[in-house]
Amino acid sequence: MKAVIQRVSKASVTIEGKKVASISTGLMVLIGIVNEDTTEDIKWLTNKIVNLRVFGDENNIMNTSLLDVNGDAIVVSQFTLHASTKKGNRPSYIKAAKPDIAIPLYKSFVKQLENNLGKNVQTGQFGADMKVELLNDGPVTIIIDSKNKE
């Protein structure tokens, strides 16, 4: 499971002209799922995300987490995170999990993130053509792969 996490001042997701998710201070989480991902990947990654110290403390040093700042989160599924660009110019998405595997894991990821955060998490819509807007604060962008824990 791969996540691109961006600290945001604001973020939103729009589908067919309708805003379906919107947050202020928090994290935009783009999540890519592969067939080998498990509930253990979800537990590890969601715990890492809510405790990641990427927000400024009283001295403006990145030393506080999403939990510490009572921030919000938007999760957007993004199979393109597992693109292979080794051959040619057209990315291959063969590693990305198909919807029958990815959707239940995506839903479980969102639910676990909500449990860890203690509040509802905003989401896009799996498989939809989404317009994602965000104001990256910092900018701070972190990439985490649950297969690279060590």
pLDDT at 21 over 90: yes
Q: What is the pLDDT of residue 81?
A: 94
- What's this model's pTM, rounded to 2 decimal places? 0.95
The answer, yes or no, to whether the previous bond of 104 is cis (omega within 30 of 0) is: no
Q: What is the pLDDT of residues 88-102, one digit of tens each?
A: 999 999 999 999 999
Catalytic residue selected from 6, 46, 55, 78: 78
Residue range 102-129: mean pLDDT, rounded = 97
Q: What is the pLDDT of residue 149?
A: 80
Catalytic residue selected from 38, 39, 80, 141: 80
Neighbours of 143 (CB within 10 A): 11
44 contacts 67 by C-beta, under 8 angstroms: no
Maximal C-alpha separation, the chain: 48
Residue 55 falls in the annotated catalytic set = no
How large a percentage of the chain has pLDDT more than 90? 97
The Cα 111–Cα 113 span in angstroms is 5
Phi/psi at 133 (nearest 5 deg)? -120, 140
Domains along the chain?
2-145 (3.50.80.10)
Pairing of strands 2-15, 55-56: unpaired
Q: What is the pLDDT of residue 77?
A: 96
Catalytic residue selected from 6, 46, 55, 79: 79
The Cα 114–Cα 94 span in angstroms is 29
Q: What is the pLDDT of residues 68-79, one digit of tens each?
A: 999 999 999 999
Residue 122 falls in the annotated catalytic set = no
Residue 80 falls in the annotated catalytic set = yes
